[in-house]
Chains A and B, each alone.
Chain A
Amino acid sequence: QKEVEQNSGPLSVPEGAIASLNCTYSDRGSQSFFWYRQYSGKSPELIMSIYSNGDKEDGRFTAQLNKASQYVSLLIRDSQPSDSATYLCAVNGDNNFNKFYFGSGTKLNVKP
């Protein structure tokens, strides 16, 4: 069983601050990495994907990947109360690209 680990939180940040969410994964062969946002009672929504080492920016979101350290992170700049949700990290790759493995998520609270 491939493992994806996240701190469950909650992570509390004030409005306007940078929120930093972290994820580690066990399978060194993983090749694709994703961040999903999930509001309470709703389904996950894809917000970022990253496939190569380094940073990828999309608006207020930056995903960072370090395959050598088996580490993925998500930075949210200028955090808003509407960003309050659970953020799920997912990975796939290695021998079977059909299996997306998910972490249990980090709950983010952005305080006004």
Chain B
Amino acid sequence: DGGITQSPKYLFRKEGQNVTLSCEQNLNHDAMYWYRQDPGQGLRLIYYSQIVNDFQKGDIAEGYSVSREKKESFPLTVTSAQKNPTAFYLCASSIKGGVVNTEAFFGQGTRLTVV
């Protein structure tokens, strides 16, 4: 089955730790995205990538880093510089970035909690 797989589903981070969230897609989509969702709020864009080896900061990139070494994979690292990392993290992909009329599809999300 084609889809977007995020792992782990739940993640606990200690203060000062870096953690990496995995996102893999087998839809052959060019564009991938990371969003953060806080309770009662909409999704906010952290990073996005249109093609392999290229990515751009979204609206709330501080304290996060990404890589796009393979078309299928777009991991997100939450660094210790992110002061309030507890949130629901969502990875999405779309067929092609930078064009109109492209739909985004989401993975099942990773819920990160700082302990």
Chain A contacts to B: CB under 8 angstroms: 1, 4, 8, 31-32, 34, 36, 42-46, 49, 51, 88, 90, 92-93, 96-105
Contact = CB atoms under 8 A, between A and B. Distances in A.
A46 B105 contact: yes
Contacts of A103: 42
10 contacts: A1-B59, A31-B101, A34-B104, A43-B107, A43-B109, A46-B103, A97-B97, A99-B58, A99-B59, A104-B40
Most B C-beta atoms less than 10 A away, residue of A8, A43, A96, A105: A43
A97 B106 contact: no
Interface of B is mostly: loop
Interface string B42-76: 11110010100000101100000000000000000
Contacts, number: 69
A98 B50 contact: yes
Interface of B: 31, 33, 35, 40-45, 48, 50, 56, 58-59, 90, 92, 97-109
Contacts of A44: 43, 90, 106
B45 A51 contact: no
A43 B90 contact: yes
B98 A102 contact: no
B44 to A, nearest CB: 8
A100 B100 contact: no
Nearest to A4: B42
Contacts of A97: 97-100, 102
B91 to A, nearest CB: 9
A100 B43 CA distance: 9
Interface hub of A1, A8, A102 (most chain B Cβ within 10 A): A102
B113 to A, nearest CB: 13
B108 A100 contact: no
Contacts of B45: 99-101
B100 A93 contact: yes
A98 B42 contact: no
